[in-house]
Amino acid sequence: DLVDFLVVVGSVLALVPPLEIIVVLKHRRPSAVATTVVLVVVVLAVVLLVVIFFAVVFVVIILLSIVFVAILVVVVYTAVGTVPSLNGSGEGGDRKGQRKESGN
């Protein structure tokens, strides 16, 4: 009987919001054991949903931060990597340095 009751409660929990379940149980007036079992199942379901939600949010935040850091690293690497190569190939940095020395 308990297994069948738990299966029914689980299927109803999957289909009906917990508040409607509590209202229906109040109208039927079952035994205290049934109400406590249903309340425990409802609380566990809510806790599991909250934990799963926060776990998904945490994973998404970690993935977004990793992607953001990767983009920053690529941007900084390309900026730092291209500027010295341009100065070294075009010798613009040396000319600017000579102009600064002559200006001073």
> How would residue 63 be classed by pLDDT, with cut points 50, 70 and 90?
very high
C-alpha–C-alpha distance, residues 40 and 11, integer Å: 15
Q: At what angle do helices 32-90 and 2-15 cross, to 10 degrees?
A: 50
pLDDT at residue 33, rounded to an integer: 73
pLDDT at residue 28, rounded to an integer: 61
More confident residue, 87 or 82: 82
